[in-house]
Amino acid sequence: MHTMKNNNLWVGVLLAILLAACGNEQREESMAGNDTANEIRVTDDELVGNPFMEEWDTPYGVPPFARIEARHYMPAMKKGILELRAEIAAITDNPEAPSFENTILALEIDGELLGNVSATFFNIAGTETNDDIQALQSVLSPMLTREFDAITMNDMLFKRVQAVYAEKDSLGLDEQDARLLELRYRSFIRAGAALDPDIKKQVAELNAEISGLTTQFGLNLLAATKAFKLKITDEAQTAGLSDDYKASVWNEDEGAWVIGLNRSAYETFMTQSEVRELRQQLFDAYRLRASSGDTDNGPLAIKVATLRAKRAELMGYESHAHYQLETRMAKTPAGAEDFLLRVWRPGLARAKTELADMQALVGDEFKLAGHDWWHYAEKVRKARFDLNENELMPYFSLDEVRAGAFEMANRLFGVSFEPVDVAGWNPVVTSYDVKDADGSHLGLFMMDMYARDSKRGGAWMSSYRSASNIDGEVIRPIVTNNLNLSTPPKGEPTLMRFNEVETLFHEFGHGLHGLLTKIDYPMFSGVDGPRDYTEFPAQILEHWAAEPEMLAIFARHYKTGDVIPQELVERMRVAANFNNGFSTTEYIAASLLDLRWHMLSSEEAAQIKDARAFEEEVLRGYGLIDEIEPRYRSQYFSHIFAGGYSAGYYAYLWSEILDADGFAAFKQAENIFDPATAARLKKWVYQSGGLREADELYRNFRGQDPNIEPLLKGRGFEVRE
């Protein structure tokens, strides 16, 4: 029998804060009952038949998804909160002197039920939401935030943590115990535990308000995204669209081709469609999401930025960005901005050249606009490199790409993936028993690859259970990967664009980071680390996706089974940096926008009247050209206003320093599966979690500090000192 264990308080609360994402704007406040922040009640009758009150006799201890209903979450969450409060009281009321075991370790194992419920709820809220789940989100996120604040600002508890920390050098702790103590003490300090009581009260109030606002941001975004459908009934209006794409978006009930706003369907349409008016219609719908009416996120973005700045000021920081970056590799907002601008300048210059090339192709017929970029970039690429996506996609079927990713992991790290029959949250979910080179069980890996209205957009990794090894009880993780591919017609394969192939490899890297961990404590096992480091284990695997040796493994034509021709691989290689000016510029524009939102003082943020006007002023100041939109506009920038990337979206590019330099180690070894290099990568990156500071972990793998030159060269930019 397997039971879902050891998703302790801290894991659950972080899921609540970081994954509180998506739904619509409907609420049912009555579901909150009459509870105040301190009055949490639940009766035995409310818990009868509740799956969270039982041991789960399910394969690998996965939640019994078919049995869990929306009505089960609130009572179970309340029960978990009450159990946690009792566990915290047992620590603070302990008459014995504070010790590592009775304070630090006790905190690490507390909150089991609450962690289980919150992990399940917030994962389901992102992948299989409904009106009831969305209503609960608006209540549960602030509730859990209040509980987190009540713990980190508990004076008696903090004094015990502080007392243990003061004796850290004389306790004889091993490396993992010492790291747990360090990180636990740091988490209390950064949450405001050492502040004056009146300041702590204000910070707690701000936390609750921010939690509610960020949850609403995500709800608005999903509602706005779901509300738009481009319907085409005239076949002449499908000019340029491939047969495979047309089949994937055909809706029999509507008697029309229906295109929504999930990124996969959107980019494919923008690339293929010959109908400029329809491209503009879809482009405007995408970039103007959640910017008007009841789902307008502009005022919410301003309010969130204002409150975050106010909270940072109360805690003694110049801005929210200064607070966030203190423990990250960039250290300061200026450090992050300076780095971005080093890549922005050559990227923007390249983008202007790309624009000129496309305008030359168009001639005087019209002035190229943002909704033309994907389409004419593809035409230029075909003309220049004799390469187009329709030629490539038949070689990238989901089944083969996934098998290729598994084979890569096996050759690098000795791990294997065995398909297993496990009931997931949706019938499309596939599950795999992951084993290490010695045959030992590493975890369960669950993949949810398809877009649907009940699922938030984007691609991400998460987990239902964290890894741990406390007092000899080995608990292995349940890890998930999520993409939003278009569902193919029944009986047809899922064909992928190459950037979607890279996304699968990217999220698989996050998955391996969670699965391979050898850390005993959930607090810093798996994907733990600063945001500008934790993208590195994901991004480095993207390099393998384009390697000829790797393509020979998984790039097979879905009809003939033939391996992708070498001459086509060579054309892919030559064209690899094509349109890199655009992709670099749109990404860094969003990163700079994120920083600027979070470098504001509370007074400056409060004075903003229009989010789009602020956005345009910022981007104009950096020189962004009109034909390129930032990858995310403020109103749908869920990474920073409904997720965990505030003042941290730059992290993907920062991590690219690490992944480009790290992959260079394999190239220098003249073997992309070099055993010695792969062993260091496995030990110091995928297995080590947050065992040490990020720069030390990287040096232990690479043998040196990272160099930015491979990043610039990889993007095809000139390296200048």
The number of residues in the chain equals 721
DSSP string, 464-528: EE--EEETTEEE--EEEEEEEEPPPPTTS--B--HHHHHHHHHHHHHHHHHHS---SSGGGSTT-
Residue pair 117/91 in contact (Cβ under 8 Å)? The answer is no
Residue pair 511/445 in contact (Cβ under 8 Å)? The answer is yes
Q: How far apart are the C-alpha atoms of 414 and 679, rounded to whole Å? A: 10
Tokens of 310: 């106010």
3-state helix, strand, coil in the chain (%, to 5): 60, 5, 35
At residue 671, what are phi and psi to the nearest 5 degrees?
A: -160, 110
Closest CA to 397 of 558, 185, 234, 593: 558
Angle between helix axes 611-622 and 298-314 (nearest 10 degrees) is 70
Query: Counting beta carbons within 10 angstroms of the beta carbon of residue 321, is it exposed (0 to 12), middle (13 to 18) or buried (19 or more)?
Result: buried
Residue pair 613/665 in contact (Cβ under 8 Å)? The answer is no
CB-based contacts of 638: which residues, under 8 Å, 6+ apart?
Answer: 21, 22, 217, 218, 221, 456, 458, 632
At residue 268, what are phi and psi to the nearest 5 degrees?
A: -65, -45
- In one-letter notation, the amino acid at residue 89 is A
> Residue by residue, what is the 3-state secondary structure of 230-268?
EEECCHHHHCCCCHHHHHHHEECCCCEEEECCCHHHHHH
Residue pair 245/235 in contact (Cβ under 8 Å)? The answer is no
507 noted as active-site residue = yes
Longest CA–CA span in the chain (Å) reads 83
Q: How far apart are the C-alpha atoms of 604 and 305, rounded to whole Å? A: 10
> C-alpha distances in angstroms, 254 versus 69, 258, 399?
31, 8, 29
At residue 435, what are phi and psi to the nearest 5 degrees?
A: -125, 145
> Residue by residue, what is the 3-state secondary structure of 650-666?
CHHHHHHHHHHHHHHHH
Strand partners, 431: 420, 446
Q: How far apart are the C-alpha atoms of 59 and 445, rounded to whole Å? A: 12
Let me know the angle formed at the C-alpha of 223 by 507 and 68, rounded to the nearest 5 degrees.
65
Which residue do the tokens 């606009």 mark? 369
Q: How far apart are the C-alpha atoms of 620 and 635, rounded to whole Å? A: 18
Q: How far apart are the C-alpha atoms of 514 and 503, rounded to whole Å? A: 17
Tokens of 116: 């289980």
> C-alpha distances in angstroms, 282 versus 260, 372, 447, 626, 648?
9, 11, 29, 18, 29
Residue pair 91/449 in contact (Cβ under 8 Å)? The answer is no
Q: How far apart are the C-alpha atoms of 381 and 383, rounded to whole Å? A: 5
How remote is the C-alpha of 290 from its chain's centroid?
A: 20
How remote is the C-alpha of 338 from its chain's centroid?
A: 24
Q: Which of 507, 586, 615, 656 is catalytic?
A: 507
- Give the residue numbers marked as catalytic: 507
